[in-house]
Amino acid sequence: MRRDSLDALFSRYVRLRADNHCQRCGHWVEFRDLDCAHCVPRWKKSTRWDIDDALGLCGTCHDLIDNIPSEKTKLFTRYLGEEGYQSLEARAMTPQKPDRELIRLQLKKLVEEIE
């Protein structure tokens, strides 16, 4: 799937938020090696840049959750809580055209706050 500058900004935010640690196993990971792992597939535009839809994971944990759906559900439920996870799933099922410029501004602000 093609990535653009908004995808890069989103990935940067998710990896900064993880603070060089895999959000599943807790291991320290070089920033450049930390993956931006989505819960809902990226092709679903309604949640593609939703900050609840991604975690910073090491490659091993990213592969694990992509290959074992129950592990992905368990991880994101633990991270978001049951209600948060259900809300993410509902947003994923709601077709909408995201406001890319508003998302870009929000992500830039979040990145600046962390840096």
Is the pLDDT at 1 greater than 80? The verdict is no
In DSSP terms, 36 is beta-bridged to 56
Contact 51, 44 (CB under 8 A): no
Q: What is the pLDDT of residues 60-74, one digit of tens each?
A: 999 999 999 999 999
pLDDT at 15: 97
Closest-CA residue to 18 (of 79, 60, 65) = 79
Cβ 34 vs Cβ 15: under 8 Å: yes
| Mean pLDDT (whole number) for 92-97 | 89
Question: Is pLDDT above 90 for 95?
Answer: no
Predicted local distance difference test score (pLDDT) of residue 50 = 97
pLDDT at 97 over 90: no
Instruction: Give exposure, 15-47, as e/b (b: 16+ Cβ within 10 Å).
Output: bbbbeeebbbeeeebeeeebbbbbbbebebebb
Q: What is the pTM of this model?
A: 0.92
Residues sharing a CB contact under 8 Å with residue 106, sequence separation 6 or more, in sequence order: none
The rounded percent of the chain whose pLDDT value lies above 70 is 99
Residue 96 has pLDDT above 90, yes or no: no
